[in-house]
Structure 1
Amino acid sequence: MNKFAFLVAILPSLVFTEIVPVQECQTGPLPTSVDVIGCSKLPCKLSRGQEAVVYVDFRPASDASALRPSVFATVLGVTVPFSLPEDWQNACDWLVGTRCPLTAGEDVMYVLRLPVQKTYPPVAVDVELRLIDQAEQVVSCFVVSAKVV
């Protein structure tokens, strides 16, 4: 990959985000880093009526020809699936500086966009992201603490 193109692709994440600590999932390996735009400490504030943008750096342990996001929200001890818009269902479309298929050990950046509806109540929430490959194996997974404001 052209080093200049890669630098241009990741520059927004270097300027506007900070790496935040995340929790490990029971279902898969942690990403290399997670950067939430506008979040410098936990819980990350998710503003109603806006999109939360998360840059996820990871290295797949095996080759992946397809990738899809699976998001869950845990509020007051109850975990529910979080539906992403249809055009965000293919994680391969939201990779920065690379495309599917992915090679084992490759450094990959995925951009997760979460719509935070105005109707959501102001509440603490744990957001879990699983990136799942064509064999339904979890390639990377993390949980981040947030608060809807």
Structure 2
Amino acid sequence: MSKYTFVFLFALFGLILCEIYEFEECFKADDDEAPDHYNCNVTAVRISPCPDYPCKVKRGRKAVVELDFTPLVDVESVENDVYWASPEGDLEWQGLYKNACTNTECPLKNGVSQSYTYSVDIDKKVPTRSYDIKWGLKNGDQIKCCALIKIVIKK
């Protein structure tokens, strides 16, 4: 088998395991209505195991969320910033650890694209329903990346 065939098959296997997922950015960094600290763009979201849209995850299971993003400023460190976007207001997703540098390389460099990966346990007590989740990274008012993703929690 040639070297190129092996690389192609390896890449294809990766695509099968983790689908590129539909998402909206909470704001684009160049959006006039974006707050000043939205100076980062999310370019892709992958959720595993989620071959369908919206992502359906069973309670008591793990889901892996991956974000590809490009910061537009240098930042030493970032925190996980995850919320349920409810009609009554955003509610923080409890139980996630804050230090996102364990999930991506820090410091972040202006214009350098990178990936972030977080494996989350879906608690058995989470109500079954559809959720709009704002999943992102932040560092105070220095930087914020955010993708709005839809998930369905099932029994």
TM category (shorter chain) comes to: 0.7 to 0.9
C-alpha separation in 1, matches of 2:41 and 2:152: 22
- Equivalent residue, structure 2, for 1:57: 68
- Equivalent residue, structure 2, for 1:21: 22
- Equivalent residue, structure 2, for 1:92: 101
Superposed CA deviations along residues 115-135 of structure 1, whole A, max 9, x for unmatched, are 2111112101011112112x4
TM-score by length of 2: 0.75
Tell me if structure 1 keeps the 8 A contact 2:69–2:113.
Answer: yes
1:1-149 pair list within 5 angstroms: 14-26=15-27, 28=38, 29-75=40-86, 77-78=87-88, 79-85=90-96, 88-95=97-104, 99-133=105-139, 135-149=140-154
C-alpha separation in 1, matches of 2:73 and 2:23: 23
Aligned positions, number? 133
Question: Equivalent pairs: percent with the same residue?
Answer: 26
Amino acid at match of 1:137: Q
TM-score by length of 1: 0.78
Distance 1:127 1:13, change over 3 A: farther
- Please state how far the C-alpha of 1:15 moved relative to its aligned partner: 4.8
Structure 2 residues without counterparts, runs of 5 or longer: 1-6, 28-33
C-alpha separation in 2, matches of 1:93 and 1:101: 11
Name which one, 1 or 2, has greater alpha-carbon Rg. Answer: 2
